[in-house]
């Protein structure tokens, strides 16, 4: 896992997230060639995590993830209105979260969401 270090990267802030879920998000970002950094934050709901992650990312894109929710945020969007937010369905988690990583990369590149 990567640490938060100030380099341009999509920030992923998590609290109590399943490590396998994090791997899927990271895989989606890696497939698009976008660097990421993971930080463990022990407070806040998924919206707050995503907003804080986007606020600290030099790429202006952040992801928040908890044990059962995930959100994608872009810095200029309102804190209470992430670009994507959803409950993680265990049977669909791999595809949901890989797509979230891909969409975070698309937000950085200015591409069309999938």
Options 3.40.50.10150, 3.40.190.10, 3.40.228.10, 3.40.50.1820; CATH of 10-105: 3.40.50.10150
Domain ranges of the chain: 10-105
CA nearest neighbour of 72 among 51, 41, 95, 87? 51
Report the candidate in 114, 21, 111 with the shortest Cα–Cα distance to residue 61: 111
Output the pTM of the full model. Answer: 0.94
**pLDDT the model gives residue 4:** 62
What average pLDDT score do residues 84-90 get? 97
Quick one: how far is CA 42 from the chain centroid? 16
Residue carrying the six token digits 């998000």:
25
Please tell me the predicted confidence (pLDDT) of residue 7: 87
Give residue-wise pLDDT tens across range 4-62: 667 899 999 999 999 999 999 999 999 999 999 999 998 889 999 999 999 999 999 99
Arithmetic mean of pLDDT, 97-113: 97
Q: Any residues with CB less than 8 A from the CB of 81 and at least 6 apart, and which?
A: none
pLDDT at 112: 94
What is the pLDDT, as a whole number, of residue 2?
46
pLDDT for residue 5 = 64
Residue 44 confidence (pLDDT): 85
């Amino acid at each position: 896992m990567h640490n938060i270090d100030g380099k341009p990267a999509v920030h992923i802030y998590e609290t109590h997230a399943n490590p396998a879920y994090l791997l899927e998000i990271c895989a989606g970002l890696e497939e698009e060639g976008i660097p990421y950094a993971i930080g463990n934050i022990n407070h806040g709901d998924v919206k707050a995590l995503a907003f804080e992650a986007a606020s600290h990312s030099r790429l202006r894109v952040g992801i928040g993830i908890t044990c059962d929710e995930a959100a994608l945020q872009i810095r200029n969007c309102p804190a209470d209105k992430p670009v994507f937010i959803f409950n993680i369905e265990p049977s669909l988690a791999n595809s949901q979260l890989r797509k979230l990583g891909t969409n975070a990369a698309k937000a950085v590149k200015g591409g069309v969401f999938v």
